[in-house]
Amino acid sequence: MTGILDGVTGAARRDPGAIALQAGTQVLRYDELLDRAARIAAAVRARVDGPVRTVGLLCGRTPAAYAGYLAVLALGATVVPISPRWPAPRVRAVSRAADVQIVLTDVETDAGGLTLPDDADLPTGPIPWPDRVGNPDDVAYVLFTSGSTGRPKGVPVRHRNLTGYLDDCVRRYDVGPGSRLSQTFALTFDPSVFDLFVAWRSGAALVVPGEQDLVTPTGFVRSRSITHWFSVPSIITLARRLRALRAGSMPDLRWSLFAGERLTLEQARAWSAAAPRSTVENLYGPTELTITCTRYRLPAGEWPSTANGSVPIGLPNEGLDAVILDERGRPADEGQLAVRGPQRFDGYLDENDNVGRFTHPENGLTAGNYYLTGDRVAWADGNLLHLGRIDDQVKVNGQRVEPGEIEAVLRVLPGVDDVAVVAGEPEPGRVDLRAFYTGAAEPGELAEQARAQLPPYMVPARFDRLEALPVTDNGKTDRRGLAGLAGSRAGR
């Protein structure tokens, strides 16, 4: 396979007995992980008529899930991660949109397919590694992000978008045999790809925390001898609230990476005090630009001071071209960030979603088009500073959320006349969604129906019924006013 799997098989050949994966009490060596993947691949091939093209992975962070991920890639197929916490309607919608042929799962589900933990379903005896030869243009995975139209958008990422980025990360963060990388991200969230393949391309160990470990990360880092930590910044906020981030509590951590949300200078100071020998980097990037596309390393000396208290997002990765555009699409010192280069994807699964997301689409979507991130940035002392969104999109625990998608689901429910979803920040580093609506429905009923149709991170934390939604002078819903109302009600 020409792609991200090459490095994994190379690491396994160099040291097959090295630890590749540790999840709870389960430990797999490289030879064991690849053997398990080969057996799953053989079982999938036996179940699917014709070539295997697209496989759903409806799994938690278990050894079976990671072996299944490798199995799909070994078949030259595309992985479509699906969360076990997603409601059934979303699972079906994503599977249809991606044209999933079979679902691999490690949980009880009505999705059908192959249940991974059941060894009785896997071939026995010697199993050769799949011999399919792929190419860099093959799609490695499809992730689904929140869409303003009321349905999730499929983002296909090809092997060629990934390989150079992963190799650069291995070098930049000095990852190799003996390194132990955390795996804090769900497989439906693209930083998980960094965790898996930066570790496995270099011969390092991938170490999976339990849910409690994410609440008290210092204990996990110490007990598992973690050398490289990567998570959303909100984990810092949660750990501080629980007084689980004591100064000097992670003395041997070497690298600390954060992405997916705004990293505040206050959060970075608290983490750095707990891990005084660790280098801290702030990474930024939408799924469409392959995991992260800019980075900023906090210096060993004096830290920057920024107008909004955020750590800068730094400069683009090598090989990427980034510009700031004003409202008319002209270069500016402050405005929307636009990026192109080898990490930029080739367009959404549904071509209709490409509208308005690229520069000069009238000439066709080519490598020369910039992807319009929707993020507002400015230059500050030679680095990019993230200032927020130019639209209503928000991040909740690092996951992209389009309020319009939630509103589309809620608006058709019985007893709802109109609805607006906004984000509040009850404390720095933590974002909550609030739904304001008009109609006869009870808040508890709406919450229950929302949970049946939306992923947990998209379900508003509170539903408030109003006599009427406030409007601006031009008659549009006053979202800024509602956001202020959400903040004032956060503690109620």
Q: Is the pLDDT assigned to residue 489 strictly greater than 80?
A: no
Span 40-90, pLDDT tens digits: 999 999 999 999 999 999 998 999 999 999 999 999 999 999 999 898 889
Structural domains present in the chain: 5-297 (3.40.50.12780), 402-488 (3.30.300.30)
Query: Radius of gyration (Cα) for the chain, nearest Å?
Result: 23
pLDDT for residue 119: 62
CA nearest 389: which of 286, 277, 240?
A: 286
Pairing relation of β-strands 430-438 and 418-427? Answer: antiparallel
Distance between CA atoms of 123 and 304, rounded to whole angstroms? 57
Q: Give the pTM.
A: 0.85
Cα 433 to chain centroid distance, Å, stands at: 19
Q: Is the pLDDT assigned to residue 376 strictly greater than 50?
A: yes
User: Residue 103 in contact with residue 83, Cβ under 8 Å?
Assistant: no
Handedness of CA 268, 271, 276, 282 (dihedral sign): negative
Span 238-270, pLDDT tens digits: 898 889 999 999 999 999 999 988 899 999 999
Average pLDDT over residues 327-336: 92
Distance between CA atoms of 70 and 6, rounded to whole angstroms? 11
3 state SS of 311:
coil
CA nearest 169: which of 21, 291, 339, 286?
A: 291
Considering the chain, what percentage of its residues have pLDDT values greater than 90? 65
